[in-house]
Amino acid sequence: MLTETIKKFVSRLFSTQPRGPERLSADKHGIDRRNVSRHAIKVCEVLQQEGFAAFIVGGAVRDLIVGLEPKDFDVATNATPNQVRALFRRARIIGKRFQLVHVVFGQEIIETSTFRANATAADTQTDEHGRILRDNLFGTQEEDAARRDFTLNALYYDPITEEVIDYHQGVPDLKKRVVRMIGDPEQRYREDPVRMLRALRFAAKLNATLDPATREPIARMAQLIENVPASRLFDEILKLLTCGHAMDCLRQLRSVGLHKGLIPLIDIIFEEKGGEQFVDLALARTDARVRAGKTISPSFLFAALLWKLVNKRWESLINAGEPPVQALVQAADSVIDEQTEKLAIQRRFQSDMREIWFMQARFDRTPPKAIWRMAEQPRFRAAVDFLQLRAEAREVDSVQAQWWMDLANTDDALRAEMIEAYAEQYRTRGSTGPRKRRSGRRRSGGAGTRTRAATESMQP
C-alpha cells in the first residue's frame, strides 16, 4: 500500500499534465481588500449572487500585490456580455475585436470581460503578419488565463473570499520581479506586436527584468510594430511616458530598436546638444506628477519631447533671416508633420503643442498691453511651465522665467502692478524682458508678498 502511494506521488510530481492553479490566501498574496475599488467589489458580488464566477483581474491585481495603487479595475467572468449588461442599470457593450461591458459608477468605469478561449485559426481573423484582428470565442477561466500575455497579468482575485488564483506562477514572478511571457514569445508578439511595448513598460514600472526568452525576439521583430494602427500606438506610447518611469522606458525602447517605429526622431533629439538632458528633465517632472497622483498633459509631454528639434530648426530659420515668430511657426509645423506620420498625435494635442511653443517667442520683447492678452490664453500657464523647464535646462534666463511664473500665480490686482512696473522699463529702456528694479511699494503679508517682492527687486 505504501509503495503504491509513493508511485502515485512520484507520478504527480513529474507529470506533464497541468496540476491546476495555485490558490493563495490573503496572508500569502498580501492584498489589502481596503485598497480595492468598492465598485469592482460590487460588480463581483452581483455576478456571484446570480450564480456566475467573477474576479478582479490583470493590472489591478498585479499592482496591489507589489504595493502600487491601481489606475483602474477590471473584472473577468463566465457571464456573457449580454448577461452582464442585464444585471446593471448603467452598462454598455463595447468593442470590435473583443466585446466588453463597461459598468458605470459615476466617474469610475469597471471594464468587465467574459472568459475567452484559445481560438483556432478557423475562429480568428488575422492579417498577413499574424496579428489578430477579430476574436470573440468565449471559454473557461483556465483558457482565459492562458490567453493573457504575461504571467504577472494572469492573476484572478476574488474580493469576496480574498483569494488569488494563479495559473502560471505569476505571483512568484512578481516577487522575483521577472516579466515572463505565457506561451511562445515569438508567436505572442506576432499575434499582437504591442506586447513588446507592454513587456518593456512592465519591466520599467516594476523595476523588473525581462525573462531571456521574453526579451530575445523583440529586437528581431521590432519592425512588426509598424503594422499596428497609429491610434493604438499613440495610446501605448502615452502609457509608456506616463507610467512613472518614462526615461527608463525610452531607454529600453532604444536598446531594442522599438523606438524607430514609434519616435524615430528621438535619436536625432538625443544627438542634439543638451537634447537628452532636456528630455530627462521633462520626463522627470512627469514622473513626479504621476507619483503624486496629479494629472498629466499629453500636449505638454509631447511638446517637451520634440522641443529640441523644433528649437534647432527655429534658430536655423532665424539665422537665415526669418522673423522669430514666423520662424517658430515653420519649425513647429515641420516637426509635427514628420512625427505625426508615425505617432498619430491627435489634432487637439497638436494645437495645444503649437500654442505652448509659439508663446516661447512672445516671452521676449513683449509689449505691456500684449501681456494681458497672453495671460488670458488657455495654454498660458502650460507655456510658462515650459519656460521654467527651458530655464532649468539653461536655455533662457531663470530670472525672466521666474517673473513670468510669478505673473501666472498672482491675482489680477497684483498682476496689474507687475505689468505696470514692466511697462515703465519697456518705455524707458525698450526692455527685452522683465528686469530687476530697485524701488516700489511693498505689501506686507498676504499671498502676493513673495511675487511683489520679486517684482520690486528688479534692477535697472
* Among 434, 425, 432, residue whose Cα is nearest residue 455: 434
22 has pLDDT over 90: yes
| Number of alpha carbons in the 13 Å side-chain half-sphere of residue 394 | 4
* Among 232, 223, 302, residue whose Cα is nearest residue 260: 223
Catalytic positions are 72, 74, 149
Please check whether residue 401 is in contact with residue 391, taking contact to mean a CB–CB distance below 8 angstroms.
yes
* Among 359, 361, 340, 342, residue whose Cα is nearest residue 350: 340
Q: Which are the contacts of 388, defined by CB distance < 8 A and separation ≥ 6? A: 401, 402, 405
Fold that domain 275-456 belongs to in CATH:
cca-adding enzyme, domain 2 (1.10.3090)
Please check whether residue 12 is in contact with residue 43, taking contact to mean a CB–CB distance below 8 angstroms.
no
In angstroms, rounded to a whole number, what is the distance separating the alpha carbons of residues 195 and 434? 50
Contacts 24+ apart (CB under 8 A), 335-343: 335/265, 335/306, 335/309, 335/310, 336/306, 338/265, 339/263, 339/265, 339/306, 342/230, 342/233, 342/261, 342/262, 342/263, 342/264, 343/230, 343/233, 343/234, 343/237, 343/262, 343/263
Quote the pLDDT of residue 422: 83
Q: What is the mean pLDDT of residues 275-301?
A: 89
Please check whether residue 193 is in contact with residue 221, taking contact to mean a CB–CB distance below 8 angstroms.
yes
Identify the helix (H) or strand (E) that includes residue 397.
none
Most confident option among 61-75, 229-243, 344-358: 61-75
Q: Mean pLDDT across the chain, nearest whole number? A: 84
Q: What is the mean pLDDT of residues 130-140?
A: 67
| Alpha-carbon separation of residue 370 from 230, 358, 363, 419, 437 (angstroms) | 39, 14, 10, 10, 21
- 103-107, 292-296, 384-388: least confident range: 292-296
Q: Architecture of 20-176 per CATH?
A: 2-Layer Sandwich (3.30)
- 85-99, 135-149, 352-366, 429-443: least confident range: 429-443
Backbone angles phi, psi at 172, to 5 degrees: -60, -40
**Domain ranges (residues) in the chain:** 20-176, 275-456
Same fold, 20-176 and 275-456: no
Question: Who has greater pLDDT, 172 or 13?
Answer: 172
pLDDT band at residue 398 using 50, 70 and 90 as cut-offs: very high
User: Sign of the C-alpha dihedral, residues 199, 201, 202, 203?
Assistant: positive
pTM of the model: 0.76
